[in-house]
Amino acid sequence: MSPPTQPMMQQSDAHWLDDIIEAEALTVLFQPIVDGESQLIFGYEALVRGPSDCPLHSPLMLFGVAEKEGRLVELDLLCRRLAIQRFVELDLPAHLFLNVMPATLLERGFREGATIEYLRRLGLSPQRVVIELTEHAPIHDYDLMRRAVGHYRDMGFKVALDDLGAGYSGLRHWAELRPDFVKIDRHFIEGIDQDSPKQQFLRSIIDVARNLNCTLIAEGIETREEYHTLWGMQVAYLQGYHFARPSDQPPHSIAHLMPTAGRHYNKSVTAASICKPVAAIDAKAKLQVLLDRFKHDPSLRCVALVSQGRPLGIIRRNTFLTLFANPFGHSLYAKSTLDELSEKHMVLARLNTPLEQLSQWITETEGERHEDFVIVDDAGVYQGMGNIIDLLREITAYQVRLARHANPLTGLPGNALINDALATRLNDGRDFVAAYCDLDQFKAYNDGYGYAHGDEVIIAVATLLQDTLREHGHFVGHIGGDDFMLLLSGDDWANHCQQVLERFEAMTPSFYRPTDRQAGGLTSKDRQGQQRFFPFISLSIAALPVDPQHFKSPVAISDRLCELKRHAKRTPGNYLLIERRCH
């Protein structure tokens, strides 16, 4: 027999739920999701809590009671609306991750279009919203679930799968739904810095994600060691208490927690990435001090000699110990100073020296041994030592990464490298221009001439952009398809863009057959299936002058460029649109 208080308890929970929904008495917290490469916030996960003095404070209790009472859809839509509203009120940058229970998408009472309606009302683009499917019950109807996910994608949302490795059928969900993002359950993150099997598991998941064109998010990161391990494994996005706890006033930036805090360079491609904190020895020290260090530390190969923190030279283990290897060594060198025994010819690199440049210095110095080199800060103060093995390893890893993230058709930097370049320029704090370059009438050309010819046009555009812009120091990236990203600087960038347009216009007729060339275009079906005439393909460039003080992330720049691109494409022909309004 059930305890007499049980029905009262159930009724009390239902009463609490009624009051919460009627009063909209929910608190929305946000936890940042960090881009490990750019060190910027990529997005915020919205987390909803009930009143603190209520038994339904926990989301598990709150949604459990709502499901039992048949009010799951009603509560879910309320949470979405309040999360979107609060996200806009706080003017948070980047993406909003909305937790959605898959069961609500399949409920009869679910109202399609409600989320997009909330967004339109509050002026938030669906491209900035990620629907995060949170699993609390098994999915039985995958066909219906795929249609529901496809519905969201058609409206511009991205989709994330939460807690891979926990719950019911995470791997099947991944295979069936093909989400844009997958979150790795905290179980596989906790203590990963000391757990080789977990690292191996994560490497396997990284390979799967890469093959499925999916991005991983590691959640539940609580320690610096966990973070460093994941960062070294190149997990794209990171989330956890190590960066910030869920808060109703979340930070807009957490750069102070990252390893390159306060520096305006990318650690992964500079001497900072291979700098080891080998203790230097002061020039005034006795010979015996260094002799003892070498004897007690067999791994110590080379030591920097410093005076007031600045390097004077280096002393190599083998050279130094050889001096004292014979019976007369002590007699001959006992009165020598360390400065007299040091090598003055050394490679000296700053923390922000690019690895490619450092490699060039070493290889161009003939007849010298430079297995080890000294690394200093911008003020010339000793920071540590580097060695050529680590240098070669880092350069190789960086080149592999460049190749992995390059566009396979053009070889230009792809989306990950474009975001890196944008983040680096924002961190530099100097004004620059971001430009979106897109072909007009290209679908009709592809339909009429086939994708092989279409690829030839894309390659021609890539070559044109490189030949015209790279010699002036501009960045050219390939977003995908016929879309390109340009990062421009200097006073003549607009003239360089005009040169691109003029040269493209001159080469365009060569893409067409003689009859189409004479007609000035081709006849093909439009998106409604109607035959109509399409003029020559043309190039639209939408340019956005960027003041880093007014743009908080690459995502904010991308969102504004998408709007500008739509305006630019309304003008026929080859056209450069420049954003003129003040921010």
Confidence of residue 261 (pLDDT cuts 50, 70, 90): very low
Backbone angles phi, psi at 218, to 5 degrees: -90, 120
437: domain CATH number? 3.30.70.270
Q: Give 383's pLDDT tier (boundaries 50, 70, 90).
A: very high
Q: Where are the alpha helices (DSSP H) in 406-513?
A: 415-428, 442-449, 451-469, 493-507
User: How far apart are the C-alpha atoms of 234 and 203, rounded to whole Å?
Assistant: 10
Which of these three, 395, 417, 448, is where a domain ends? 395
Task: Tell me what the pLDDT averaged over the chain comes to.
Answer: 84
Q: Which two tokens stand for residue 195?
A: 């757990």
Q: Which of 323-332, 459-468, 476-485, 544-553 has the lowest mean pLDDT?
A: 323-332
Segment 96-102 mean pLDDT: 87
Instruction: Check whether residue 391 and residue 429 sit in a common domain.
Output: no
**20 is a domain residue:** no
> Does residue 41 have a pLDDT over 90?
no
For the chain, what is the domain count? 3
Provide, rounded to the nearest whole percent, the portion of the chain with pLDDT above 90: 33
- Does position 478 have pLDDT exceeding 70, yes or no? yes
pLDDT surpasses 70 at 113: yes
The answer to whether the Cα torsion of 379, 381, 383, 388 is positive or negative is positive
Query: What pLDDT is stored for residue 365 in this prediction?
Result: 62
In a domain, 303, yes or no: yes
- Average pLDDT over every residue of 295-311: 91
pLDDT computed for residue 6 by the predictor: 42
Q: Is the pLDDT of residue 5 over 60?
A: no
294 and 442 part of one domain = no
Same domain, 390 and 410: no
Range with the largest mean pLDDT of 324-328, 397-401, 522-526: 522-526
Residues 6+ apart with CB under 8 A from 128: 94, 95, 96, 555, 559
Chain centroid to Cα 126, Å, comes to: 19
Which has more pLDDT, 390 or 538? 538
Give the pLDDT of residue 540: 95
DSSP reduced 3-state for 282: strand
Q: Are residues 241 and 277 in the same domain?
A: no
- Long-range CB contacts (within 8 A, 24+) of 79-84: 79/26, 79/28, 79/46, 79/48, 80/114, 80/115, 80/118, 81/114, 81/118, 82/24, 82/26, 82/28, 82/48, 83/28, 83/46, 83/48, 84/115, 84/118, 84/119, 84/122, 84/124, 84/129
Report yes or no on 10 lying in a domain.
no
Is position 359 within any domain?
yes
Q: pLDDT value at position 1?
A: 39
The answer to whether residue 264 is domain-embedded is no
Q: What is the tens place of the pLDDT at every residue in 12-23?
A: 778 888 888 888
Q: What is the pLDDT of residues 482-501, one digit of tens each?
A: 999 999 988 899 999 999 99
Looking at residue 265, what is its pLDDT? 37
Judgement on whether residues 246 and 152 belong to the same structural domain of the protein: yes
What is the reported pLDDT for 11?
Answer: 46
pLDDT at residue 267, as a whole number: 45
Report pLDDT for 323: 80
Same domain, 30 and 159: yes
Which one is predicted more confidently, 173 or 248? 248
Give CA separation, 461 vs 342, 425, 440, 577, in Å: 55, 25, 13, 18
Banded pLDDT at 369 (limits 50, 70, 90):
low
Q: In this prediction, what percent of the chain has a pLDDT beyond 70?
A: 88
Domain co-membership, 156 together with 205? yes
* Count of residues in the chain: 583
- Which residue did the predictor score with more confidence, 143 or 63? 63
133: pLDDT strictly greater than 70: yes
| Cβ atoms of 536 and 525 closer than 8 Å | no
Output the pLDDT for position 2: 40
Of 577 and 63, the structure prediction assigns the larger pLDDT to 577
For residues 454 and 570, state if they share a domain: yes
Residue 415, pLDDT score: 85
Look at residue 457 in the predicted model and tell me its pLDDT.
Answer: 93
Q: With bands split at pLDDT 50, 70 and 90, how would you rate the model's confidence at 436?
A: very high
Residue of 324 and 561 predicted with greater confidence: 561
pLDDT of residue 247 exceeding 80, the answer is: yes
Rounded to an integer, the average pLDDT of 97-101 is: 88
**373 has a pLDDT exceeding 70:** yes
Handedness of CA 515, 520, 523, 527 (dihedral sign): positive
User: Residue 317 sits in which domain range?
Assistant: 271-395
- pLDDT band at residue 370 under the 50/70/90 scheme: low
The pLDDT tens digits of the residues spanning 184-227 come to 988 899 999 888 888 888 888 888 888 788 899 999 999 888 88
| 148 within domain boundaries | yes
DSSP secondary structure string, 132-173?
Answer: EE--SS----HHHHHHHHHHHHHTT-EEEEEEETSSS-HHHH
pLDDT, position 153: 86
CATH number of the domain that 240 lies in? 3.20.20.450
Interaxial angle between packed helices 388-405 and 355-364, expressed in degrees from 0 to 180 and rounded to the nearest 10: 130
Looking at the structure, tell me whether residues 366 and 438 fall in a common domain: no
Where does the pLDDT of residue 29 fall: very low under 50, low under 70, confident under 90, or very high at 90 and above? very high
Task: Please give the residue that has the higher pLDDT: either 356 or 291.
Answer: 291
pLDDT (0 to 100) of residue 462: 93
Out of 395, 419, 444, pick the residue that ends a domain.
Answer: 395
Q: How far apart are CA 548 and CA 555, in angstroms?
A: 13
Give the pLDDT of residue 556. 86
pLDDT of residue 434: 95
In terms of domains, do 343 and 417 share one? no
Residue 251 domain-assigned (yes or no): yes
Q: Which of the four pLDDT bands, split at 50, 70 and 90, describes residue 259?
A: very low
Q: Report the pLDDT value the prediction gives residue 573, as an integer from 0 to 100.
A: 92
Tell whether 429 and 301 lie within a shared domain. no
pLDDT tier at 9, thresholds 50, 70, 90? very low
Residue 12 lies in a domain: no
**For residue 477, what pLDDT is reported?**
93
Least-confidence region, from 428-432, 459-463, 480-484: 428-432
Q: Which two tokens stand for residue 345?
A: 């010819």
424 and 390 share one domain: no
pLDDT at 532 over 50: yes
What pLDDT is recorded for position 263?
Answer: 32
